[in-house]
């Protein structure tokens, strides 16, 4: 389902001229958000697929930059759509469920109902510019893998929560926690 135009416009305003997305390329908000999302997905490629590609792991600074860009895009989406949290559940190394809360547009995105593992690991496809809610779901899954330092499909069993909060000054606070079933816990947050 395409992200509604009003949400895209708010995302575009929030992400424009930030340190990670310094310039506007188009006067069309959907095209700008598509380019920003595409930039984030490209930045996540090496952290998520270096083993499959037979390459060395990228430097920590590049991984952190990709994580911060992902948090910015997800935070902008959450602020514009009034999403309070995303929950990603991994079991046997594969995605079991992913959902945004509250669920928007009366759509349930839990795996048994509507989303396949392939759909949750997709990149932006379709005619350009094409930005869907499913792209934000896929981005949250990729973000959790990158934070945990796991290649896609090789994540330990875990439940991750990404929380979104708009501060009084209008800025976004994004933080999260990954809880592995082994007991390991990892925290992450959008840098101030």
Mean pLDDT by 10 residues, the chain (192 residues): 90 85 77 90 88 88 95 94 92 84 65 46 55 87 90 87 91 93 95 79
**Residue-level pLDDT at 119:** 47
Tell me the CA distances in angstroms from 121 to 6, 7, 87, 160, 170, one per residue in order: 26, 22, 15, 16, 31
**Residue-level pLDDT at 186:** 94
Identify whether the C-beta of residue 47 lies closer than 8 Å to the C-beta of residue 144: no
Report phi then psi at 87, rounded to 5.
-125, 130
Helix axes 29-53, 5-15, angle to 10 degrees: 70
CA pair distance 87, 140, nearest whole angstrom: 8
**Residue-level pLDDT at 127:** 58
């Amino acid at each position: 389902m395409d992200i509604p135009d009003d949400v895209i416009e708010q995302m575009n305003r929030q992400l424009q001229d930030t340190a990670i997305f310094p310039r506007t390329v188009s006067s069309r908000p959907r095209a700008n958000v598509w380019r920003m999302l595409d930039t984030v997905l490209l930045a996540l490629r090496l952290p998520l697929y270096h083993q499959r590609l037979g390459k060395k792991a990228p430097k920590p600074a590049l991984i952190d930059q990709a994580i911060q860009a992902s948090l910015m895009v997800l935070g902008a989406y959450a602020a514009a759509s009034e999403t309070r949290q995303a929950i990603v559940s991994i079991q046997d190394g594969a995605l079991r469920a992913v959902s945004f809360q509250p669920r928007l547009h009366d759509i349930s995105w839990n795996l048994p109902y509507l989303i396949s593992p392939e759909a949750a690991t997709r990149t932006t496809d379709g005619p350009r510019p094409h930005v869907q809610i499913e792209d934000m779901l896929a981005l949250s899954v990729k973000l959790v893998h990158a934070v945990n330092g796991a290649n896609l499909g090789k994540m330990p069993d875990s439940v991750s929560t990404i929380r979104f909060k708009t501060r009084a000054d209008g800025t976004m606070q994004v933080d999260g926690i990954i809880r592995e079933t082994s007991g390991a816990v990892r925290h992450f947050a959008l840098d101030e």
